[in-house]
Chains A and B, each alone.
Chain A
């Protein structure tokens, strides 16, 4: 099938195209130079054309999302998705799998990365991916509190650690290394937490610094497309901004060496809004977003995603077990807790970020402050769905960023006065341009994930994932912006029209992306000797049952990396 998108105003930051009126040709699912006369013409005059959106940090699948769904029938009751010909779905902050896929697609998004997959629960994650339509998926595998990783890193045995990481990524079909509260979740097994980067975890006696640095080295040894994806220590504690900067600083000297993709950074800081708090307690709590932004601007090795608070009632879920317990104790809300043997843990607590709450209002302002002060090529739009807010609020965040008037309306009329007195968000006159919006919602993600060869841009050869929004490039009316980005005029998935005028017109099932690194055979044999022992002693499952089987995806898309020289 051939299409030609005519007269659209194209924003494609990876190819440095800033609002040029041009035609885009599509043949057999990829973007090509030209098409024949028979190509179907899509008139996009007066509309904005961008590559398909990418959410590089979201929680849409797996055991903890499902626990959230199970424990929150009241969330299911809040929103109903019923459209002819589509599977019905429910849920506002933790929608069902089908609703998740449909709604991402309605917004012009075509790829979502599930941000926390415990290796042991990988089958569950992939099984839910099978039922998530419209978008491509990938999952970040949790390594930061893994016993095997901690043992190897303590012994400074980076080769074996790399071999283990490669093996886990292959058998659990993971995409990259995720680190959550390094050392802290393991300490939670002892009913404790770690504070700061140099606080050793019990028994393993390893610090967060050793884990982050070690895994960063391993990541570059393996040449993975994505960098390490880190949720640093002390999430949500007043005064944690120092830990955040220390963690960024500790991997500064490591060179990026991806064997696939065009990544230039070695460190991805997830939901940095939760890590930019000043003060010593909730009473003198204040924003340090500007300081974090300043550090990010002057460093070349860091990319951050924001995790913008949207001031909704939502569900928090993270592998940071002790943090969720603290949240449960402070709110009194229901709480789910899970220990994943040998590997990690997690917790789920419903949470209401009330606009009238002083602390929540400052959190909201911190997110915006980071957006407004950071170089738009180093910051990524996310809500850490559903931790800071559901992904369906992205259009509202875009409206806050593009219109100072709208932002000031919220700052002065809606939220608590602390947002004005304890942050500098009111001082900034910056308004995001359409080009910068394209950067923070697609281009930066594609680049840092290492997928920019074929995704996140509109150059010849790219996969034809395209979003067309019915909005002029200079539009400033927040209502128009919110509406346009919530319901795309067209979404193309792999060269087919899947959304038209905000409605799903065609159901497709995307790919699941994973990484398969080939390592040296003698090294692998050595690893297997250790692993057989670990499985015999510590796991409740056999190694053969641990692997994710072939049938748990609609279509696997494997990134093969040959790295047999590490030994």
Chain B
């Protein structure tokens, strides 16, 4: 079953949509879906008040949000299966704590996309902002599985406290990418202003663009070609094409095992 939600008009007060998971609304009819209560600011409204709802045939549980805006928050939070397609931008916490399924966003996403994600896929065609795949504020366990792909740029502190899984940013990122990382792989195709992997203990970060500076607490290990990245010894490994400067760190921790791969071609100023 596919549910198509279309915003009736632009909303000002944000709405939380974690009650509308494809697996939860599977099998409901239009009227039932319109009757679901969702919080808008400090009030509770019904889905039918702000969305046009339609149902179409589909083999998997699907939900499409048309005319979406940054005011829709917590879309797909905790989902385990199915697919959500968002045509437009979407607000904070999209795909937070998700365990499976797939979310496809055709616009931009706000902060905390894929926060604490445990599995599944989150694909964003536009730009992301801060804390992608990170832990909740104050928490120390971030994304632990699954895949996040951002085709545009991203903000600061992406993959904060990442424990597993992969984040792939095809554009540029801000400061402190992979801070406190304890596992997982972060791939950045664009440029990084610096402070990459601060306090990381484990995990790997690959930079294909320009990195202005490596933190002084990282140790240079030499140049590697087409490295196969393994986080644990038993891992199959992820093979990456290209020539990289390799660093380990962050040596502000005791016995760190973090790996940093920085493209040789784009970074003639390093090492």
The interface of chain A, by Cβ under 8 A from chain B, is 71-75, 77, 332-334, 350
Q: B137 interface residue, CB < 8 Å from A?
A: yes
A350 in contact with B140 given A332-B201, A332-B253 (CB within 8 Å)? yes
In angstroms, Cα B138 to Cα A72, docked, is 6
Other contacts beyond A74-B136, A334-B140, A350-B140: 5, CB < 8 A: A71-B138, A73-B137, A74-B135, A332-B253, A333-B140
Q: Which residues of A contact B136 (CB under 8 A)?
A: 73-74, 77
CB pair A73 B201 closer than 8 Å? no
**What is the bound-complex CA distance between A71 and B140, given in angstroms?**
12
Q: Which residues of A contact B139 (CB under 8 A)?
A: 74
- Taken together as a complex, chains A and B put the C-alpha atoms of A198 and B164 apart, in Å, by 47
CB of A327 to closest CB in B, whole Å: 14
Q: A71 contacts which chain B residues (CB < 8 A)?
A: 138
Selected A-B contacts with CB under 8 Å, 14 pairs: A71-B138, A72-B138, A73-B136, A73-B137, A73-B138, A74-B136, A74-B137, A74-B138, A74-B140, A77-B136, A77-B137, A332-B201, A333-B140, A334-B140
Rounded to whole angstroms, the CA-CA distance of A71 and B201 in the bound complex is 22
A350 to B141, CA, bound (A): 12
Q: What is the 8 Å Cβ interface bit string for chain B, positions 138-149, against chain A (1 contact, 0 not)?
A: 111000000000
Chain B, Cβ-Cβ closest to A71: B138
Name the residue of chain A whose CB is nearest to the CB of B116.
A74
Annotate B118-144 by CB proximity to A: 1 below 8 A, 0 otherwise: 000000000000000001111110000
* Contact mask for chain B residues 193-226; partner A; CB cutoff 8 A; 1 contact, 0 none: 0000000010000000000000000000000000
Max chain B C-beta neighbours (<10 A), residue from A74, A333, A334, A350: A74
* Docked complex Cα distance between A306 and B138 (Å): 30
Min CB–CB distance B179 → chain A (angstroms): 13
Please list the residues of chain B having a beta carbon within 8 angstroms of any beta carbon in chain A.
135-140, 201, 253
Shortest CB–CB separation between residue A96 and chain B, in angstroms? 16
For the residues of B in contact with A, the DSSP-based class is loop
Contacts of B253 in A (CB 8 A): 332
Chain A residue nearest to B182 in the complex (CB)? A332
What separation, in Å, do the CA atoms of A73 and B201 have in the docked complex? 23
Q: Give A74 to B142 CA distance when docked, in angstroms.
A: 12
> What residues of chain B lie closer than 8 Å to A332, measured between beta carbons?
201, 253
CA distance A75 to B140 in the complex (A): 11
Chain A residue, CB-CB nearest to B180: A332
Query: Quick one: closest A residue to B139, CB to CB?
Result: A74
Which residues from chain A contact B137 at a C-beta distance below 8 Å?
73-74, 77
Closest to A70 in B: B138
Residues in B neighbouring A75, C-beta threshold 8 A: 138
Chain A nearest CB from B265 CB (Å) reads 35
Q: How far is the CB of B118 from chain A (nearest CB, A)?
A: 16
B138 contacts which chain A residues (CB < 8 A)? 71-75
A351, chain B: closest CB distance, angstroms: 11
A366→B159 CA distance, assembly (Å): 39
Report Cα–Cα, A71/B135, bound state, in Å. Answer: 14
**Chain B hits for A72, CB < 8 A:** 138
Q: How far is the CA of A74 from the CA of B139 in the complex (A)?
A: 5
Q: Across the two chains, which residue of chain B brings its CB closest to A73? A: B138
Cβ distance A71 to chain B, nearest Cβ, rounded Å = 7
In the bound complex, how far is the Cα of B139 from the Cα of A334, in angstroms?
Answer: 10
Whose C-beta in chain A lies nearest to the C-beta of B253? Answer: A332
> Inside 8 A of A334's CB, which chain B residues have their CB?
140
List of 3 A-B pairs having minimum Cβ-Cβ separation, nearest first: A74-B139, A73-B138, A74-B138
B159 to nearest A CB, angstroms? 17
Q: How far is the CA of A94 from the CA of B55 in the complex (A)?
A: 45
Q: A424 → chain B, closest Cβ, in Å? A: 34
List, in ascending order, chain B residues with CB within 8 A of A74's CB: 135-140
Please name all residues of chain B whose beta carbon is closer than 8 Å to the beta carbon of A77 when the two chains form the complex.
136-137
A429 to chain B, nearest CB (A): 39
Give min CB distance, B202 to chain A, whole Å.
11
Closest Cβ neighbor of A333 among chain B residues: B140
Closest to A350 in B: B140
In the bound complex, residues from chain A placing their C-beta under 8 Å from that of B140 are 74, 333-334, 350
Bound complex: CA A74 to CA B201 (Å): 21
Taken together as a complex, chains A and B put the C-alpha atoms of A350 and B139 apart, in Å, by 10
- Chain B: which residue is nearest A75 at the CB level? B138
Distance in Å from the Cβ of A505 to the closest Cβ of chain B?
26
Whole-angstrom distance from the CB of B138 to the nearest CB of chain A? 4
- Shortest beta-carbon distance, A164 to chain B, in Å? 40
Contacts of A333 in B (CB 8 A): 140
Interchain nearest-CB distance for B93 vs A (Å)? 12
Nearest-CB distance from A447 to chain B (Å)?
A: 41
Q: In the docked arrangement, what's the CA distance between A169 and B84, Å?
A: 62
Q: Inside 8 A of A73's CB, which chain B residues have their CB?
A: 136-138
Q: How far, in angstroms, from A193 to B139 measured CA to CA in the complex?
A: 30
Shortest distance between the CB of A331 and any CB in chain B (Å): 9
Once the chains are docked, how many angstroms separate the CA of A142 from the CA of B81? 54
A350 cross-chain contacts in B, Cβ below 8 A? 140
Chain B's nearest CB lies how many Å from the CB of A72? 6
A251 to chain B, nearest CB (A): 40
Shortest Cβ distance from residue B70 to the other chain A in the assembled complex, whole angstroms: 22
> Complex Cα distance A332/B253, Å?
9
**Please, how many angstroms separate the alpha-carbon atoms of A332 and B135 in the complex?**
16
Of A73, A75, A332, most buried by chain B (CB within 10 Å of CB) is: A332
**Whole-angstrom CA separation of A350 from B138 in the bound complex:** 11
Cα–Cα, bound, A71→B139 (Å): 10
A530–B243 Cα gap in the complex (Å)? 73
By beta carbon, the residue of chain A nearest B199 is: A332
**A331: nearest chain-B partner, CB-CB:** B140
B111 to chain A, nearest CB (A): 15
Q: How far is A350 from B140 in the complex, measured between Cα atoms in Å?
A: 10
* CB of B244 to closest CB in A, whole Å: 27
- Give A334 to B180 CA distance when docked, in angstroms: 11
Chain A residues whose CB sits within 8 angstroms of the CB of B135 once the complex forms: 74
**A71–B138 alpha-carbon span in the complex (Å):** 7
Nearest A-chain residue to B135, judged by Cβ: A74
Nearest opposing residue in chain B for A334, CB measure: B140
CA distance A75 to B136 in the complex (A): 10
Measured in the bound complex, the distance between the Cα atoms of B115 and A77 in whole Å is 14
